[in-house]
Structure 1
Amino acid sequence: MRVSRTLLATILVTVALIVQVTVLARLGLPGATPDLLLLTVLALALVYGHVGGCLVGFFAGLLADLAPPADHAVGRYALVLCVIGYAAGLTRPETGQHRSATVPMLVVAAGAASSTLLYAGVGALVGDTAARDVGLGSLLLTATLYDLLLAPFVVPLVMAMARRLESDPLSGEHKSGGGGGDSAVSWLKGGGSPRGRGPRRIRYGKAARLGGTRSTLLSRSARNRAGRIKGVKRL
């Protein structure tokens, strides 16, 4: 990733993690906790694509694994957010921008549900049964609901900040195409360019060749007539 992308992703992920730990984790909501870090990763993946989303997700998950309140194995959430960021980046259109908010909201819902399932699945592999004790169905429902309620306030803002640092390739092509169009118009107008005077020289050359051919034919016919006249006089 470029330096601007890396700097922005680092700042946004750090701020999201601080708010997650100091504010959202202490609300005491029933079930799961709103995952601001997940929403930040999803928003950046929707702008940066699957490669950027994968890298941002791994970095964000690793920070969450190393944060002081974490009570799970290091690398567990990094793996989850890495996969989620990669999958979310695959939904990025070729134009770089979604036409409506339907796709981002579907990505948020799928990301919230998938992250909960993946986190619980990885925990089951390493022997963590906390999700089983709390209830996986309750965690899945509340995590999806909280993230969907928080997404309209987070995802558009993060995506707008990320797009400001992105260069628009269509604008550069448009500028270069516009310059070519202006020069083409000036050439068509014949404003001092060689191409404007080219057709005139070609026409002038053709006229000269035609004129030379005509003058040669006229001289030959005149000579023939003069010979005939001389012959008549001699007779």
Structure 2
Amino acid sequence: MRVNRILLSVALVVVALVIQVSVLARLHLPGAVPDLLLLTVLGLALVYGHVGGALVGFGAGLLADLAPPADHAAGRYALVLCVIGYLAGLARPDNGRLRSATGPMVVVVAAAVGTTLLYAGVGALVGDTAARHVGLPSLLFTAALYDLLLAPFVVPGIMALARRAEHDPLADTNSAAQSPDISSGWLSSGTGLRIGRQRNALRVKTARARVARAGRIKGVKRL
């Protein structure tokens, strides 16, 4: 990943995690908690692609695993967001711009449901059965609902920031330095054309002078 991608991803992930832990987690909404960190990963994955989405998802999940008040094994959420980021990056359009809001909304709903299922599945493998006591169907419904309501205010802005960060001034300068100078080629070719025309004009004048001189000599001889 580029340096500007890394800096932007780290900044957005940290801000999203702080807001989620300090604000969203304390709302005490019924069912799941709105996952602002997941929406941040989805917005970056839809611009950076599957590889960038997997890397951002793994870093964001690992940071969430280590940040207090995490009460689960480290690496659990990192694995989940890594998989979700990779799959969401596969839905990235060719030009990085989405034509309609239907695609991102479908990605958000699928990611919310998939994240909850993967998190519960990994928890079942390590002996964490908290999802069974809370109720998995209610978690799936509320997670999809909250993330879908929050997505229009988060995902488009993150995608716009990610696309703007893709224009790296240093990279543009280096590419301009490595590329050939087209303007100088045009100037040199124009100069060559002018020099060629001047040479042709001198040749024509020289030939005319020779013809005129020969005519004068013949006229003197005739006289």
Q: Which residue is equivalent to 1:116?
A: 116
User: What is the CA–CA distance in structure 2 between the aligned matches of 1:126 and 1:133, rounded to whole Å?
Assistant: 16
1:91 corresponds in structure 2 to 91
TM-fit CA distance, 1:198: 7.8
State how far apart, in whole Å, the 1-side matches of 2:196 and 2:131 are: 80
Q: Identity over aligned residues, as a percent?
A: 71
Question: What is the deviation of 1:104?
Answer: 1.3
Q: Residue 146 in 1 paired to residue 161 in 2?
A: no
Using the alignment, how far apart are the partners of 1:196 and 1:139 within structure 2?
A: 78
Q: TM-score, normalised by structure 2?
A: 0.78
C-alpha RMSD of the superposition = 3.1
| Bigger-Rg structure (1/2) | 1
Match of 2:47 in 1: 47
Aligned to 1:63: 63
Which whole-Å deviations, capped at 9, do the CAs of 1:169-227 have from their partners, x for residues lacking one? xx999xxxxx969x88x99xx9x45468989x99xxxxxxxxxxxxxxxxxxxxxxxxx
**Against the structure 1 CA distance between its residues 63 and 197, is the aligned structure 2 distance closer, same or farther, given a 3 Å change threshold?**
same
Q: Which moved more, 1:124-133 or 1:96-105?
A: 96-105
The equivalent residue for 1:100 is: 100
Distance 1:197 1:113, change over 3 A: farther
Q: Distance in 2 between matches of 1:83 and 1:92?
A: 15
Aligned-partner residue type, residue 119 of structure 2: Y
Q: Deviation of residue 67 (structure 1)? A: 1.1
Equivalent residue letter for 2:5: R
Query: Which whole-Å CA distance do the structure 1 matches of 2:25 and 2:194 have between them?
Result: 73
Structure 2 CA distance for aligned equivalents of residues 97 and 85 of structure 1: 17
Q: TM-score, normalised to structure 1's length?
A: 0.74
Q: Deviations over 1:135-163 (max 9, x none)?
A: 11000000000000000011111111111
Q: Counterpart of 1:156 in 2: which secondary structure?
A: helix
Q: Offset of 1:43 from its aligned partner?
A: 0.3
For 2:69, what is the secondary structure of its paired residue? coil
Aligned partners of 2:58, 2:90: CA distance in 1, in Å? Answer: 16
Q: Could you say what secondary structure the match of 2:166 adopts?
A: coil
> Aligned with 1:163: secondary structure?
helix
Question: For residues 195 and 123 of structure 2, what CA distance do their matches in structure 1 show?
Answer: 78
**1:150-229, aligned counterparts within 5 Å?**
150-167=150-167, 192-194=190-192
Aligned amino acid, residue 18 of structure 2: I
Aligned-residue offset at 1:164: 0.8
Q: Which residue of 2 aligns with 1:231?
A: none
Q: Counterpart of 2:155 in structure 1: which amino acid?
A: V
What code does the residue aligned with 2:88 have?
A
| Change beyond 3 A, Cα 1:137–1:195 | farther
Deviation at 1:103, TM superposition (A): 1.2
AA matched with 1:148: L
Structure 2, unaligned stretches of length 5 or more? 176-180, 201-223
Deviation, 1:167, is 2.8
